[in-house]
Structure 1
């Protein structure tokens, strides 16, 4: 975790659906988190490389590069950079079968949240990784 606990959590939302992104953004803003939003996995990887994020919320099915591919790329870069604490990546997806969850975790994601979700569900999954924020 790159930031001190006095700083606001900085979150990257990688989501191609405007409504879903606005829903997540409203929750994150209510928690006073900073956020950036991109609409495809390739842009998500680029943002990750350009900025210092604490957390990534990653959709799975997106144009250009899907969330599984983007996560694999991010994990590859972290390994090359010998990152001590890999960034938590939370899958946010409509794919709700057990094998979908397994695919997300196998790609390097840390957790999994199924759409549609309630605000409290998103807050709870974030608090697992950042209990003091």
Structure 2
């Protein structure tokens, strides 16, 4: 003989889970709106961002995250295209995947830094290395390759916001 719990004993659990999920999503949306309110619209529009990422899904997700917090970005599918776009348009902030075919993030960063040096410019792009592979020493590797910062993928929205705020703070100094 099999025991079947009464239906009314299961109902509160369903609603509890649903309410918790709704509350969490609502809280996240409120946090995002709060972040957006804090940022000055003019500042957001003045930052030129380039996203260099070979994975089309990652490009789409990160582009959407940037849009959600008030920024637009140009994209490139590998480091060579990213370097060419940088030469054509100049960018303030570059989000650079480390592992890409043809020309990876490290090679592209070296090309960008070499190009900047050849122009004798005091201003250089702020390059953030991105990788789904979090190995010890990744941060040091990125610094040695001419990058300013390292972040692990998948990028959480608040991490992306912190990267941009950190960049803006350094730019103001």
Q: CA deviation at 1:33?
A: 2.0
Secondary structure of the corresponding residue to residue 120 of structure 1 = helix
1:15 is the counterpart of 2:50: no
Structure ID, larger Rg: 2
Question: Going by fraction, where is strand more abundant, 1 or 2?
Answer: 1
1:60 is the counterpart of 2:102: no
| In 1, Cα distance between equivalents of 2:72 and 2:155 | 21
Number of aligned pairs? 129
Question: CA distance change for structure 1 residues 82 and 116 in 2, over 3 Å: closer, same or farther?
Answer: same
For residue 72 of structure 1, the aligned residue among 78, 100, 110 is 110
2:64 alignment counterpart: 26
Q: Mind listing any 5+ residue stretches in structure 2 that lack a counterpart?
A: 1-41
Q: Mind listing any 5+ residue stretches in structure 1 that lack a counterpart?
A: none
Question: Going by fraction, where is helix more abundant, 1 or 2?
Answer: 2
1:94 alignment counterpart: 132
RCO (CA 8 Å, sep 6+): is it higher in 1 or 2? 1
| In 1, Cα distance between equivalents of 2:163 and 2:44 | 20
Secondary structure of the corresponding residue to residue 46 of structure 2 = coil
| In 1, Cα distance between equivalents of 2:145 and 2:55 | 22
For residue 86 of structure 2, the aligned residue among 35, 38, 48 is 48
Structure 1: 4+ residue segments shifted above 3 A: 4-7
TM-score when scaled to structure 1? 0.89
